[in-house]
């Protein structure tokens, strides 16, 4: 059929699935290897934002003004579980380095470059696969309940405008005109009309899974435990399974990618920022737009199955059980801005964002094995950047010049 390589992809989250569909469109035969159900990781329950209008990394000079207050509040927007503090220390030191002004500027440029491709790449993928029906172009409201926070948010809005993103600052009354279920505590904010979201991130995964299968792709159940690079490809060791030969291999295991990179001798400082949410079928409020409460570190996202309220960042690794008190805390904060909100019948969820200290993903050829490619670490932007990442992975595999300079996302940048 083609002289294109056959590509194995480990991990069938949104990044692996988008890469698979893009590679198929470019003539590759693809096989996804997934140890659970496709789309069952972080890609299942996220807030569904195509957040291409965000350009600021978490690692920013301003984070150090807010972080001490947050860290002192065990249910605040950003916490470190005490038992995980020693493990996360090296990551935090790199995070501090990435927050310095010059490094922050580099991260902003790299996020903006990738996010500029994010929605166009999704549009190309939706057009090719016929799966674009989930897009909602309603924009996003950034809202605050403290005048001081509105003033502080202006620097972030300026940064967005500097990147050509439209941001309209609004008073509390103007915000309530747009979303009458926001209460009188909202004192101001901004409308970002370009922001987009999907009606269901999990359903998006399942749509792509279906197309990949229909186009002859295989999805194998297996837990990959080791990788060895060879002259003509790579060998994958599966837990209680056979050794699989791949001509080209993509590692898209989200927050679990570190161990596989390490098996090739590449030490990537990947950790997880755990996030929490609750999805309420009948919330008693009706938002048309995505509502962000940046001051509290969470969002309210109107999706097909109701209102999804969540966010937060918790450093506690991949093994600790969820702390559901975090969901209760964010619900009580959400009720302050949306007094009629009810969370009866809500479904709680926790997910593992795959995060590097500089808030940039790894989209890179391995330095140890020429046929191995990395596509992980998208942190808060994995849904947003999945289609663009898929295109960049396909470019790397075929030796085509990528649309975005890949140097900032290199695996050996740390
Ligand atoms: C609360 C919350 C809200 C969020 N909101 C947004 C948002 O609005 N917009 C946005 O863009 N992003 C958002 N994100 C981030 C986004 O969800 C992630 O960046 C994205 O889902 C990562 O996708 P992924 O495919 O890399 O990882 P995952 O979806 O986690 O997929 C990785 C897959 O790899 C599999 N796997 C792992 N190891 C192996 C192995 N050894 N062998 C075989 N399979 C393996 C796993 O089972 C899993 O299915 C949010 C995240 C959270 C937690």
Q: Where are the domains of the chain?
A: 6-409
Between the CA of 314 and the centroid of ligand 1 the distance, in Å, is 15
350: Cβ contacts below 8 Å, ≥ 6 apart: 274, 275, 276, 322
Which residues face 234 on adjacent strands? Answer: 229, 246
Q: Which atom of ligand 1 is nearest to the CA of 383?
A: 11
Helix (H) or strand (E) holding 228: strand 224-230
Counting ligand 1 atoms within 8 A of each CB, the residue from 136, 199, 253, 303 with the most, and so the one to mutate, is 253
Q: Is the pLDDT of residue 3 over 90?
A: no
Between the CA of 174 and the centroid of ligand 1 the distance, in Å, is 36
Q: Which atom of ligand 1 is nearest to the CA of 44?
A: 29
CA–CA distance, 152 with 173 (Å, rounded to integer): 20
Q: What is the mean pLDDT of residues 187-210?
A: 98
Q: Is the pLDDT of residue 65 over 80?
A: no
Ligand 1 binding pocket (C-beta < 6 A) is 10-16, 33-36, 40-43, 46-49, 51, 223-224, 252-256, 275, 277, 310-311, 351, 353-354, 376, 378-384
Mean pLDDT taken over the chain? 95
Q: DSSP per residue over 190-218, as a string?
A: EEETT-EEES-HHHHHHHHHHHHHHTT-E
CATH number for the region 6-409 comes to 3.50.50.60
pLDDT of residue 108: 97
Residues 274-284 pLDDT 10s: 999 999 999 99
Residues 213-254 pLDDT 10s: 999 999 999 999 999 999 999 999 999 988 999 999 999 999
pLDDT of residue 62: 77
pLDDT of residue 249: 98
Q: What percent of the chain has pLDDT over 90?
A: 91
Q: Is the pLDDT of residue 2 over 60?
A: no
CA–CA distance, 160 with 390 (Å, rounded to integer): 25
pLDDT of residue 125: 98
Between the CA of 173 and the centroid of ligand 1 the distance, in Å, is 37
Q: What confidence category does residue 1 fall into, taking pLDDT thresholds of 50, 70 and 90? A: very low
Q: What is the mean pLDDT of residues 122-148?
A: 97
């Amino acid at each position: 059929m083609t002289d294109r390589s056959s590509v194995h992809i480990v991990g069938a989250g949104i990044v692996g699935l988008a890469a698979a569909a893009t590679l198929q469109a470019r003539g590759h035969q693809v096989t996804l290897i997934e140890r659970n159900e496709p789309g069952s990781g972080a890609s299942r329950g996220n807030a569904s934002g195509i957040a291409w209008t965000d350009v600021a990394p978490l690692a920013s000079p301003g984070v150090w003004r807010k972080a001490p207050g947050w860290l002192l509040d065990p249910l605040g927007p950003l916490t470190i579980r005490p038992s995980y503090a020693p493990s996360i220390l090296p990551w935090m030191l790199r995070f501090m380095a990435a927050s310095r002004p010059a490094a922050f500027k580099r991260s902003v440029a790299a996020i903006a470059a990738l996010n500029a491709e994010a929605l166009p790449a999704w549009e190309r993928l939706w057009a090719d696969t016929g799966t674009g029906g989930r897009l909602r172009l309603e924009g996003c409201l950034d809202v605050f309940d403290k005048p001081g926070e509105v003033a502080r948010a202006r620097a972030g809005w300026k940064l967005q405008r500097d990147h050509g993103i439209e941001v309209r600052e609004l008073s509390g009354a103007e915000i309530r005109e747009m979303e009458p279920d926001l209460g009188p505590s909202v004192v101001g904010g901004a409308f970002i009309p370009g922001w987009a979201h999907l009606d269901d991130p999990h359903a998006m995964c399942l749509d792509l899974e279906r197309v990949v299968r229909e186009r002859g792709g295989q999805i194998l159940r297996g837990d990959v435990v080791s990788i060895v690079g060879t002259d003509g490809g790579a060998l994958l060791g599966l837990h209680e399974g056979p050794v699989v030969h791949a001509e080209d291999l993509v590692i898209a295991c989200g927050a679990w990618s570190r161990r596989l990179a390490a098996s090739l001798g590449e030490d990537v400082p990947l950790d997880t920022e755990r996030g929490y949410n609750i999805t309420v079928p009948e919330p008693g409020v009706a938002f048309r737009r995505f509502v962000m409460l940046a001051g509290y570190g969470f969002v309210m996202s109107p999706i097909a199955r109701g209102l999804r309220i969540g966010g937060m960042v918790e450093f506690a690794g991949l093994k600790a059980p969820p702390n559901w008190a975090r969901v209760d805390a964010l619900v009580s904060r959400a009720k302050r801005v949306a007094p009629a909100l009810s969370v009866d019948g809500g479904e709680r969820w926790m997910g593992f964002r795959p995060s590097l200290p500089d808030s940039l993903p790894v989209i890179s050829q391995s330095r140890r094995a020429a046929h191995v490619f990395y596509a992980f670490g998208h942190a808060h932007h994995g849904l947003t950047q999945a289609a663009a990442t898929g295109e960049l992975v396909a470019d790397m595999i075929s030796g085509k010049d990528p649309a975005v300079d890949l140097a900032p996302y290199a695996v050996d940048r740390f």
